[in-house]
Amino acid sequence: MRTDKVLVTGGSGFIAGWCVLALLEAGYDVRTTVRRLDRATALRAQLHAATDFEDARLSVVQADLQSDDGWADAVAGCEYVLHVASPTLRSTPESEESMVSAARDGVLRVLRAARDAGVRRVVLTSAFGAIGYGYPRRPTPFTEADWSNVDAGIPPYQKSKTLAERAAWQFIEEQGNGLELAAVHPTAVLGPVLGPDDPPSLRTIRAMLEGALPACPPFATSWVDVRDVADLHLRAMTDPAAAGERWLASAGPSLRIVEVARILRSRLGDRAAQAPSRELPLPLARVLARFGGPLRALRPQLGQDFNATSAKAERLLGWRSRPIEDTIAETAESLLSHGIGQDSSTTAA
């Protein structure tokens, strides 16, 4: 049994939940934060359903990124912190300014508390959105050396992740007092759900299963399994090579959305019969995006190829990803098993 205790922020979230699970299975004692303690019971139940662990090894405490309250107690006695919590597309604040402020201020709150408590290393969950947005389409994959261009009118979420990470590195340089930082950058995250929650990153798969996506938006992106994202967090937490570095998590070359739909239909058969079989022409997609609807939120992605490589993590940390085709199928299987992704006629039957 390990003696190191790890704090995971935002434990009820999709990535954070899998990080907590991976830590428990690796033998760590875990403390995790939630914004509302009424989520603690459900979180414990989901984790116990996924793995065996002594209940005393997991503690759940209340802390909100928009308040100083609770953070000193949350980090007390912890060797490491995985700062996964951030404003998401599910709970978007009213404005871009408030979303950026919430993400940046939250990161700084956690870093200050970690520094003051003598934490060894913080692993920040950033995103591909802090790497590859605001640029013309290009033939080479994005790497950890790239930063999103916040002056190019990128969406609020991606802007918030970029500016929050910039602030984190500046804090470490100017005020860290020896605190180490590593940043993990997942591409589009898929994978099984731990409970009946509906993570925003799985909305595309859900829409395909429900028949709510008649044609695929024309763009490509790299994808990654949430379980592999959690594994990269643990490697970034302890490997000496990880400190002071950014780490992309990608399962391989980018896939177009229509290719994801084809994999679903091939692997799930009739259960994915409503997945679209065609891709919208780019000019039509851009016109439709001007008039609102689901495509409006995807305007920055249309026509793009968000291709990213994890060669650095593979070479220096020994990280490997599972085949993304398996992840796509397992994501859909998991959603369906929790009653997510079924249309009304299927549910009624």
The DSSP secondary structure of 262-297, one letter per residue, reads HHHHHHHGGGGTTS---B--HHHHHHHHTT-SGGGG
Percent of the chain as helix, strand, coil, to the nearest 5: 45, 15, 40
Alpha helices in 118-202 (DSSP H): 156-175
DSSP state of 192: -
CA distance 275 to 215: 9
CA distance 218 to 195: 31
Q: Measuring CA to CA, how many Å separate 192 from each of 3, 331, 338?
A: 29, 5, 10
Residue closest to 222 by CA, chosen among 198, 258, 189? 189
User: Active site residue: 5, 159, 161, 312, which one?
Assistant: 161
CA distance 56 to 60: 10
Q: How many CB atoms lie within 10 A of CB 291?
A: 8
Rounded to a whole number of angstroms, the CA Rg of the chain reads: 20
Tell me if residue 5 is catalytic: no
Amino acid at 158: Q
The DSSP secondary structure of 323-349, one letter per residue, reads -HHHHHHHHHHHHHHTT-S--HHHHH-
Q: How far from the centroid of its chain's Cα atoms is residue 158's Cα?
A: 12
Q: How many CB atoms lie within 10 A of CB 250?
A: 28
CA distance 29 to 49: 18
Positions annotated as catalytic residues are 161
